[in-house]
Structure 1
Amino acid sequence: MWKAAKVVKANPDKAQLPVREAALREHKLLYMAVPKIATLKPFYLLDSAKVDVEAAASKRAADVAPTVGPDTMQPVDMVVCGTVAVDRRGVRIGKGAGYSDIEMGLLAEAGLLGPKTVIVTTVHELQVVDGEIPETEHDFRVDLVITPHEIIECPSAPRPPGIIWKHLSQEKISAIPALSSRYATRVQ
């Protein structure tokens, strides 16, 4: 799946830096979320023809890569997300701020996630829990859990439906430019 993926979206966390570096070394088009989705165009466009592998680090990407919004992005073949804990069904817990869910919602609303988009997380085996993690409507599941010693294929699950506005506070919407601009047009 990795070899077949031409367009990869990854989070900016340090734990996924080796994945982002590999994507650039292998000449994949890489989208990396801007930390905290803090810009109107919430993703860095990392094209190995235009940036070096060091651009995979979020601080370097901010200096050399343009930001883009979902309206100008290509469909995504693989999403690599960060995770604090994940169960064997693919239900995951992030760091708690909801940024990954919002990033996925933005991509889903733009039609950039299809049924063949593979959603992956890379974790230490201690982060894989045997019990079931509770999930909500805005959570997304992963298709694969990759640990240093195991690849866990998870049961197929529906893709994220988009932004679930009722789950977002006005404070959260206001703090994320890509959300506040969409919210303004949504309520008009």
Structure 2
Amino acid sequence: MADFGAPGSHDYRTVASREVFDGRIVRLRVDTLTMPGGGTAQREICGHDDAVAVIALDDADQITLVRQYRHAVGERLWELPAGLCDVEGEQPVETAQRELVEETGLEARFWEPVISIVPSPGFCTERVHVFLARELSEVDRPEAHHEEADMEVTRIPFTDAVDAVLDGRIVNGIAVAGILAARATLAGR
């Protein structure tokens, strides 16, 4: 079996960094790194806040999904309730709790970390923390803005969500990883 903790043989060092863009959601920079065998190479990096996603599972083993327009791909995608860790000092589980209320009007009594993923490590700094939320109750949902105002919220059997991942109806990478990891967690792994 692979030694997942073993370091590589080359120490990649950033010898220069140039900011290209600093926006509301992303920051772009070009880093110059040392390469194995000598020399340097440039890497374009998208700085992005960490994020959270929630597997909200009710007592009937139904998962809450949201369908949201994603302009980058020009599609409405089925996703987990999710959001950015963009409130100073807020822990990821607190962000998940806030986002669940904001997007679905649900609160949960029980919270468990399921998986943390790095969706696009080839160019992006974002890390996503996925939580399992159980013992749900309905609360008032704040007024939604922008794409969230057009967001569809639904509950489906968890097994149907797993099937939707496996047959390609759910393609959002965070939802795919979160749903499959939650399946393993719920099976006792």
Fold shared per TM-score above 0.5? no
Q: Which has the higher helix share?
A: 1
Larger Rg: 2
Structure 2 length as normaliser, TM-score?
0.25
